[in-house]
Structure 1
Amino acid sequence: MANRSKIACRDPEVIMIYENEEDVLGVATIIAEQVEEYRTLPVNSKIGLIINKCKPAVILLALSSIERNIELYNQIIENKCLDYPHHSVLLCNNRESAAAFRCCLKGLFDDYFVYQPLYEKLRLKMIVHNGLQSSQTSTRYAGINDEELENIGENLSSLIDQSGECRQSLLGSISSCKEVINSPDSVEPDDVSRAILAKINKSHIEPMLADLESSIRENLDSLIGQLLAQKNGLSTFESRVAMINDMSDSNPNQRAARLQKELAEPPLRGRERILVVEDNVLYRDMLVKVLNNENFVVDVADDGLSALKKIKKNCYELILMDLFMPQLDGINTTKQIKAVTGGKSLPVIALTGNKNKELIKKWAEQGLNGYLLKPSNKTEILKAVNKVLDKKK
């Protein structure tokens, strides 16, 4: 594994238990960037003894299935190897995310993370960060400083810092008020007076502070949202101004036409029918929403076999297809398209988080018209879709 010196730490604050080393390479590298006291362990009969000796603050379980993770975790607990405060994280594939959510809801695990496919690496870092911060056994974790954070721009960074400090200051003031009110030293030791103040506190002051706290949270969240929206709008305007300034003054009519085209809203396409073949529900729903908003008619399938059945019964202008899917993957599904359409070829855009050029090349040989690296945003999706559909005209 990468960063082996960190991942083999003898006295770890974070431990990840796995079955297949190749499955957790990405996750291991991400956590090793964040936590020096980190160790990965293949599952074996000595796991409980190692945990009992090291007493890690955060434990991540990355076995082949949720059922296997639950069985191992229960066994370690029953053997009294986890009899101290800790933060447990369940790692799962996308198809088991609903079960993972249920495990956390029922209090079995503290959090879960979908690492197959691996999308949100920063969310994984936040889960580990929160686990170390909340654990009573974590003593060496220093947190994440600004130098370790990815660059998001000086203005936005400053906005986040100022708003965060403001929020913490206001909410801290409310907490201080509550402590003073509830402190036994804040009233005279008279039973009648204490009873009256307690009644007033419960019926008036506490609800008022709760409303104030809620209002502050909502107003700050709204303020941050508005400032971000204004910032994004300003960035768009500034980019367009730059574009205008770069235009030649030699042809005013051409300049005016280009400006009008740039500022105009993109026209809605026709009612082209698109099939989205993707087993990741979150990403699939995002694709459908983006395409529906642009007036496309969208059907979905969660694996290759279901896709071929739909292609056989319906007429599609374009297929957006995932690479790794249950039952039949993207490459083999693409191979079979002509067979179910009577020799007719359909444009296919590959959806993949895999950057293996040889794999993409192998898929392209079966008939690809483009590809999108996951995760992708609205602009990237529509650019790829419109490019393929425009070529069909």
Structure 2
Amino acid sequence: MSKALVHGERHPHVVLLTNDIEDNKGVCELISSQIEAFRALVKPSEIQKVLLDSKPSIVLLGYNRVSSSVQLYAELIEKKLFNYKHKTILLCDNKESGVAFKCCTKGLFDDYFVHKPMYENFRLRLILQNMLKSIEGEQHINRLRDEHFGKIDESLSSLIDEVVQQQEGLKDSFENTRTELKSDNSTTDGSNETNSSNIDPELYNILRDEYLHPLLSSLEGQISNNIVALLSKLNSNKQVLKNCSDDLNNHHLESIEIKKRYSEEFLDNEQTVKIEKHVMVVDDNEMYREMICKILRDEGYKPIGADSGKMAIESLNQNQISAIFMDLYMPGLDGYNTTRNIRSIKGYEKLPIIALTGNRDKEMIRKWAQHGLNGYIAKPATKFAILAALKKSDINPG
């Protein structure tokens, strides 16, 4: 395993949350070869710490079932560990790709990748590259937004302070003017000398009391009202700016709430996550194959047939298989080599495979068993033998 995977990046930009790193070894090696700041996380306490401390930009969820990944993501959202902008990739096997696609169309995850079997390595590389570019662009826009919003907010605050100062200065000017008028009044009343303007004192008092004081009061009132209105507009614009900034910041939180609601609906709806399990019958004899399928169908199982080993292997990528009844002699790929091929596929190492053949060569059966055969039923098989083999492997109908 790669160095990045063994040691783990302390402050990763990309993380894989999984319950089995070995099961995701291919994904881990691919990501760590492309991105240095990568870490795979298994322990809940470790997951929580990394999300809190590092806030990774890209999160991959790779549990053994889509429902398990949804459950984990919902729990982390509930703990408010994803209250920051991030991208998500849901990992799944081919049989659950339809469920994964639906999760993405609902906005629960940003994308999904089929890693079992892992055929399209370059698609995962492309997803990661596009997400990293998108995140880099968003971060640049956010920096510019915060910078410009900050400058505008600072300018508005300075302008508001300046207007308040002007308001106080005007109040002082009007008050000084009134004081001077009062001073002129006391000088005129207490002296027989004419005032500096050579205006008759009585006339001056009339002009002052009936015209100058009312005019000053009116001007002061108008200017004061205009300043109050201007301050109100400035403060209103400042609040609008704050609301815009809050709305942009709250957009992600609204998105998280939507994800939270859908994850709850997804987990509550058993039909959405329920995947039908099938019993596969592999035999090139169509009549015999259909007879076994009918027995299974009558007992509540969901059988599917395959007329060759090649078809059986292809069917594994399209269906959830709980057990296989395998004929030995078939054209092309026989039962022995089909079993060997199935055992080499990740995830099928322990799938019950039961021989269904007329061959009674014990040495052949022993050799077959060494390559992963779990049981043996001689043809012609009875209904009792078929059902007993499934019961022994703990495979129930439904």
Superposition TM-score, scaled by structure 2 size: 0.41
Greater RCO between the two (CA within 8 Å, min separation 6)?
2
Structure number with greater Rg is: 2
Q: Which has the higher helix share?
A: 2
TM-score (norm 1): 0.42
